[in-house]
Amino acid sequence: MNSEIEPWTFTVPIALEAHSQAEQFQRCQPNPQKSKQVYLNTLAVYAVNFYLGCRGFETNLEMSSSLDSVMQILMDVADLVVGNRGKLECRPVLPGAEFVYIPAEVWVERIGYVAVQLNESLREATVLGFVEKVESSELPLSQLRSLEELPGYLNSIKPRVNLSQWFENIFEAGWQAVESLLSAEPTELAFSFRSPSVKRCKLFELGALSQSVAVIVEITEETSQEMDITVEVQPPKDQTYLPANLQLMVLDEDGETVIDAYARSANKTIQLEFDGEAGDRFSVKVALGDVSVTEDFVI
């Protein structure tokens, strides 16, 4: 497939396979207005997915709500999951329009919004530009950031640890077998017989205080869309106890603390348990005084 790259836009011929998919989704919709919306959203997602592929970014259409027939009915959604970074919203723009419409229901849980102009025949799509955040349903096209800046912006976003991939034995750098960082002495967490489950650990360096702790994450698959998550902190092999007043926190996507726990004197472990669904994003933060380390996750 050929594509025309211009200084500030990227034009993609829309393949027959994209139209076939859009028609398939269209047939599932309850009314003509909704079916048109889903059709155009599908083409916009296709164009952005093609563009990102040309720029060397990995995407995950299967995890994108825009290709979920149930979510299409419930929401006006045109998202595309970009690697472990998060979701880009891909919004269609018709010829002659001066604004791109972005519904309020997608103003959250997005790392950016990309405008895609479709020509009258729907045979071509031009990726125009993007913004990081929106606060209005009508965004003037004149306010878009240059498309040339999008790859750099995406590369600046810290990738999240993808927990779902752990069940496929795919682990991010630094997440090791528990035995590599901890003593062989069993803990309460080690006696979990729930199945299937996966457990890995990583050393968090609280550098300014010359302290380090081992963070253990165990995930247990409850259904294809849900999992139980246990986060535990232990001292590494050369230490006996956790530093007093060490705080372990689980943060939501907005950075707000959801649950937390403190280490008291002579504590060997602290842990938190919670559950999540596919697509959920959260962070684990370990803090000691004014020093903290945060790791971001996606299910």
Claim to verify: residue 93 and residue 231 sit in the same structural domain: no
Claim to verify: residue 204 and residue 138 sit in the same structural domain: no
**What CATH number is associated with residue 247?**
2.60.40
Claim to verify: residue 128 and residue 183 sit in the same structural domain: no
Closest CA to 153 of 63, 47, 55: 55
Which of 93, 125, 156 is the last residue in one of the domains? Answer: 156
Claim to verify: residue 40 and residue 144 sit in the same structural domain: yes
pLDDT score of 202: 95
Q: Which domain does 200 fall in, by range?
A: 161-298
Q: What is the pLDDT of residues 148-163, one digit of tens each?
A: 999 999 999 988 899 9
Which of 156, 173, 207 is the last residue in one of the domains? Answer: 156
Claim to verify: residue 34 and residue 177 sit in the same structural domain: no
At 87, the pLDDT band (50, 70, 90 cuts) reads: very high
Domain total of the chain: 2
Q: What is the pLDDT of residues 35-55, one digit of tens each?
A: 999 999 999 999 999 999 999
Claim to verify: residue 12 and residue 146 sit in the same structural domain: yes
Global model pTM greater than 0.75: no
> What does the DSSP assignment read for 114-171?
EEEEEPTTSSEEEEEEEES--SSSEEEGGGPEEGGGHHHHHHHSPPPEEGGGGGGT--
